[in-house]
Chains A and B, each alone.
Chain A
Amino acid sequence: MGKKMNSQPLGTFYRGGKTKIRREWRGLSDTWYDYKCWVKNWGAMVKFLAHPQSIKGFFRYRWMLEYAAAPDFIDRCTEGLRGTQLRMAHTEFDFIVTEITRSLKLLFRGDRNIGGDPKLSEKMIAFDENMMEQIMWGFPNLYGMCVQLYGSFALVALSREGAVRYIDRAEEFGITGDVCTMPKAELGLCIEDDMPLVGKCILHANTTCDSSLMGNGIEDWRYQLPSYTIACAERVVDDLTREYTAEEIRGAIRFIEEQTGEQWDWESYFHNMKLYNDETRSYLEILELNKTAYPQVPDNNYNLYRDLYYTRMLNAPSEAYREINRKIRDLMYQGYEKKALPCQEIRHRALIWGVQAEFYTNFSNWLLNCWGIVGITHMLNLTSTEIYADEDTPENREQAINDLADLYMKMIMRNRTEGGFSLGVDDVWRFCEEFNLDMIVMLEQMACKAVTTWHGIYEEEAAKRGIHVIWIPHALLDPRKADRQAMRDEVNRYMRTVLGEEPFDPSLETIEDQNAW
């Protein structure tokens, strides 16, 4: 055990009837760094609880207990990493811990279910889970609070069974088993009354997909608050659809102004857009570097962070993201100069395509450590890289609404799954060529009717191009239908039987998951 990657069989940590028998030893320097981050994250969680509203929220919502899994989640996501790779992963994940605790604390302070401050609650607007928050840039005195995020999606990243109860409740309510588990979990959260109640009004969007929107209808019936839905067009490559969505954005702005009495602030909007454009430029640098033989920011550590800063779901200030992006960029270049690799050897450069289940499964990190498959990029990261108008001029004010429309149409997951054939299928081969990829790890969400319809086409086109495709079935937030080991077994089988390869770390091929979060 020690400083080198793959110097210890990581699978042995999961034996012995415990979640993990010990934390990883990575050599003195990396272990000390990792330990400091671990302490800092526990500190952030304890600091979060040191507030009366947080304690009330802790006892009110059953899902709060699952957040105790956060340090273990970070350990799993940083498993096997060393040097700049470890530091980049911690920069991102520790930021997520800090921001989740900050935004959850704010949410509980305004939560009417636990006697929150009514004046603060009136400054909040309840958002639907996959609703991007950039529209709040024009309302600096208000908070867009994603009330579903903490009890469903974020939870399942930490603990695989976090949403199971809510999925079951939605099915008891009458939603059939073939519907996607993500909107089902959100609806179940509402049915169980396990969702914080804040705000004077609710802002929905038809993102990720129409199931989410339909669930919102039932949720509105429960909460009886004024609501507005930004119904984005799906076919994002058509300019006409942007006009339609721009009207929806204008309507949403009017709705917020009417409900809250606040007025849209152009200065605030353009200030935030300027910072957002800087982040986009950073991201383009990352993508460029990932095309080289020494990719530094692969999918395993970057994906979740990019989700959050692209959608702004934690309403963290833009300056905070700028600082993190700067650190990641610095570490990236340091690693590149040293020709550091994210794993012992890059055997395969892969595109991770499809709807994710890999946070609670730790899947991308496992691919690295077990088989040397590096997820160079991910479908969910391949969203808009447009540079939008960020100077306050009369022309740009009109353009800004179109820009917001463009962003909202290109919401994570949605733009590829719902955006049409060119985005969901044709672009796969373009990215494989652009990033010099030889493999696609296809995360096949069983209930996602959008992507499963293309299964045969993906197979045929991949065969024509000589690209390996490994199909990984999963059920997103429901681990019972396809558990972690089933996902790993698909890769293990393919790598051994088709490619005839042996794993770097055989102890990782089969992991005892029964005691895992």
Chain B
Amino acid sequence: MFPGRTPIELKDGEDVLTQICRHYVMECQCPRYMDNPRIAARKEYLNAIANEYHADGVIVQQMNFCNFWPYERAGMHRILTEEYGWPVLSVDRPYVVGSSGQMRTRIQAFVESIEIKKIQGGKR
């Protein structure tokens, strides 16, 4: 189940609101959950899910003007590339539609680079 899509299972004997809050705090993968174990766990999770879905590459993206996200993205890019060997496209984007052309170009280039690597028989 993807983060944010897991069911909230309520148990008897505890206040409902507390259980819901706990679920949101523990299940959320937003970069604002920034203790080191959670940061490391997100990268492991991403590697696991990319393997599960037989991904050819990973796109890590970040919305501009969020202070947590660029650090998450920069670290994620490095770790996925250097430790797990994934081809990674790392993009930051504004929260507007106007930059869709630029985004399309970057993703096209990324997909082409993965295809070229496959044609050349290169490892991931």
Contact = CB atoms under 8 A, between A and B. Distances in A.
Given A209-B67, A217-B39, A176 B34 contact: no
Interface stretch (B6-14, B45-53, B73-81, B96-104): B73-81
B84 interface: no
Nearest to B72: A214
Given A176-B62, A176-B92, A449-B67, A218 B74 contact: yes
B74 A180 contact: no
A65 interface: no
Q: Bin chain A's interface residue count.
A: 20 to 34
Contacts of B39: 217
A282 interface: no
Interface in A169-183: 173-176, 178-180
A231 B35 contact: yes
B65 interface: yes
A213 interface: yes
Contacts of B36: 216-217, 220, 227, 229
Contacts of B92: 176
Contacts of B34: 206, 210, 213-214, 217
Interface in B53-96: 62, 64-65, 67-68, 70-75, 77-79, 90, 92
Contacts of A180: 67
Contact of B71 (A178, A206, A214, A449): A214
B117 interface: no
B37 to A, nearest CB: 10
Contacts of A173: 74, 78
Contacts of B77: 174
Contacts of A206: 34
A178 B65 contact: yes
A215 B71 contact: yes
B99 to A, nearest CB: 14
A6 B64 CA distance: 47
B87 to A, nearest CB: 16
Nearest to A214: B71
Given A174-B90, A176-B62, A211 B75 contact: no
B21 to A, nearest CB: 14
B74 A221 contact: no
Contact of A174 (B32, B35, B64, B70): B70
Contacts of A214: 31, 34, 67-68, 71-72
A173 B77 CA distance: 9
A397 to B, nearest CB: 27
B34, B64, B70: which has the most chain A beta carbons within 10 Å? B70
A349 B62 CA distance: 44
A90 B68 CA distance: 40
Nearest to B79: A221
A179 B75 contact: no
Contacts of A174: 70, 73-74, 77-78, 90
B25 to A, nearest CB: 13
A217 B75 contact: yes
Given A174-B73, A174-B74, 17 more contacts: A174-B90, A175-B71, A176-B64, A176-B70, A176-B92, A178-B64, A178-B65, A179-B70, A210-B32, A210-B34, A210-B68, A211-B68, A211-B71, A217-B75, A218-B74, A218-B78, A220-B36
Interface of B: 31-32, 34-36, 39, 62, 64-65, 67-68, 70-75, 77-79, 90, 92
Top 6 nearest A-B pairs by Cβ distance? A174-B74, A214-B71, A211-B67, A176-B70, A217-B39, A218-B75
Interface of A: 173-176, 178-180, 187, 206, 209-211, 213-218, 220-221, 227, 229, 231, 449
14 contacts: A173-B74, A175-B74, A176-B62, A176-B70, A187-B71, A210-B67, A213-B34, A214-B31, A214-B34, A218-B75, A218-B78, A220-B36, A229-B35, A449-B65
